Amino acid sequence: MYTLPNKLKLFAIIFMVVGAIGMVSGFLTVPGTTAEVKEMLASHGDGHGDDHGEATHDEAKDSHGETKTAHEAGEEAHGSEEEHLEHVLHQMQNRPWSALYIAAFFFFMISLGALAFYAIQHASQAGWSPVLFRVMEGITAYLPVGSIIMLVLLLLSVFHINHIFHWMDPELVNPESEHYDKLIAGKSGWLNPTGFLIRAVIYLLGFNAYRYFSRKWTRLQDDATDTRWFKRNFKLSAGFLVFFIYIESMMSWDWIMSFDPHWFSTLFGWYVFASMFVSAITVIAMITIYLKSKGYLDFVNNSHIHDLAKFMFAFSIFWTYLWFSQFMLIWYANIPEEVTYFVTRIEDYKLPFFGMVAMNFIFPVLLLMNSDYKRMNWFVIMAGIVILAGHYIDVFNMVMPATVGSSWFIGLPELGSLFFFFGLFVWVVFTALTKAPLLASGSPFLKESKHFHY
């Protein structure tokens, strides 16, 4: 049995406290009026002034005006300074909420990806992985916590506590209103707050129900004399994967793609899935290496680490494939309603947008290509840190351009939220690891898994 070291507990608490301070100060420093915005822009001086210069701002507005807050939608004239300040004010007010949402979703998606990976191991009856089941189960323990946080955040958006989901504004679907948006109104059969919440509940219940039963049954299998629970788990996992691949796609439309309600991409679900999966496998590898370095998991050999690193390598390439497929088709066709998505990102988010391709593709490909490096723990950890940071920026790039536009920065609210959820994640996952033996001793493939040798 694993016992949670006090040092690690303290580490998690420190991250949560520091993160919470960052988050709260992020919310407190949000300007309330346009006058304050004016002051803030002026005090930032030349360096920052470039970002908010009239010229670049107007261009950005042209290209992605439709993705902005309610007050801006449909505005043709954008000359007046007051309107500009009003616009920046809304972006700044969205920023701490977006930062919170991104970090919450990022850690939620890691546990969900680990759950999908876990289900695949059961459904494929993989022989190499049963020694890692408890690590995966530990990571999925964050799922219920993450689900509740996500649901609360979505509820806050639906009840207009924040305005990060532009399409939730009822003005946009009201034909009488001057802000009436024909495209969003046309999508309101799917994109309406009631349906949005009902779907969110279905998604989350589905994920959590699978997690609950699958974990329970592997625990029962530990003490069983036959393979009854193993067989049941197999059937449940196969069924869950069918559910998951549809639901995950819809979840990405609802929770991420709808930030840009005019824009759509048919492979978006896959794209989010790739990000989720590679981050989850990276976390599985990192936690396994960490536990092994502390003297636990002596049944895990370096071939297991090698296989996880292969998955990290392969899914980094898979992510790039989808990222590029989405980008190239839109770039080539150059249809205005599609291309705005990338125009915004390339104009206002050049560094994170191209930086994440380097972090998520070039870096892991070069680092993890060599077979021997995949067996060196510190190498896998270093590559893993870059991959995780890269995928955080990936989610950042999916959300921020639609909610805060050019007023972005990775500062106190972003890092605060990231730290807070990181601390919470570490706390929940490592506490869950103490609740069960670290070896799923009932798996019929246990012997094969222990002897797994590449």
Partner 1 sequence: MASKVIHAIYNDDDILMNAVKAVRNEHYHIEEIYTPFPVHGLDKAMGLADTRIAITSFMYGLLGLAVSITMMNYIMITDWPQDIGGKPSFSYIENMPAFVPIMFEMTVFFAAHLMVITFYMRSKLWPFKKAENPDVRTTDDHFLMAIDPGQQDLERVSQFLSDTGAIEISLIDKDDDH
Q: Point out which residues bind partner 1 (CB under 8 A).
A: 324, 327-328, 331-334, 369-371, 453
Which pair of structure tokens corresponds to residue 134?
Answer: 């408890």
Q: Which is nearer to partner 1, 324 or 409 (CB)?
A: 324
**Cα–Cα distance for residue pair 115/142, rounded to 1 Å:** 10
Alpha helices in 65-162 (DSSP H): 81-123, 133-140, 142-158
Least separation in angstroms between residue 231's CB and partner 1 is: 30
Least separation in angstroms between residue 372's CB and partner 1 is: 9
Least separation in angstroms between residue 327's CB and partner 1 is: 7
Among candidates 271, 267, 262, which has minimal Cα distance to 320?
271
Q: Which is nearer to partner 1, 33 or 370 (CB)?
A: 370
Q: Which is nearer to partner 1, 21 or 346 (CB)?
A: 346
Q: Chain centroid to CA 75: how far?
A: 32
Q: Which is nearer to partner 1, 211 or 304 (CB)?
A: 304
Q: Which is nearer to partner 1, 25 or 371 (CB)?
A: 371
* DSSP-assigned letter for residue 191: S
Least separation in angstroms between residue 267's CB and partner 1 is: 16
Residues 73, 65 contacting (CB under 8 angstroms): yes
* DSSP-assigned letter for residue 419: H
Least separation in angstroms between residue 331's CB and partner 1 is: 5
Q: Which is nearer to partner 1, 358 or 369 (CB)?
A: 369
Q: Which is nearer to partner 1, 75 or 448 (CB)?
A: 448
Q: Which is nearer to partner 1, 217 or 313 (CB)?
A: 313
**Cα–Cα distance for residue pair 297/305, rounded to 1 Å:** 12
**Cα–Cα distance for residue pair 8/291, rounded to 1 Å:** 12
Least separation in angstroms between residue 128's CB and partner 1 is: 14
Least separation in angstroms between residue 321's CB and partner 1 is: 9
Packed helices 133-140 and 412-433: angle between N→C axes, nearest 10 degrees: 130
Least separation in angstroms between residue 319's CB and partner 1 is: 15
**Cα–Cα distance for residue pair 282/381, rounded to 1 Å:** 8
244-248 LR contacts (CB < 8 Å, sep 24+): 244/116, 244/119, 244/206, 244/207, 244/210, 245/273, 247/202, 247/203, 247/206, 247/207, 248/112, 248/116, 248/272, 248/273, 248/276
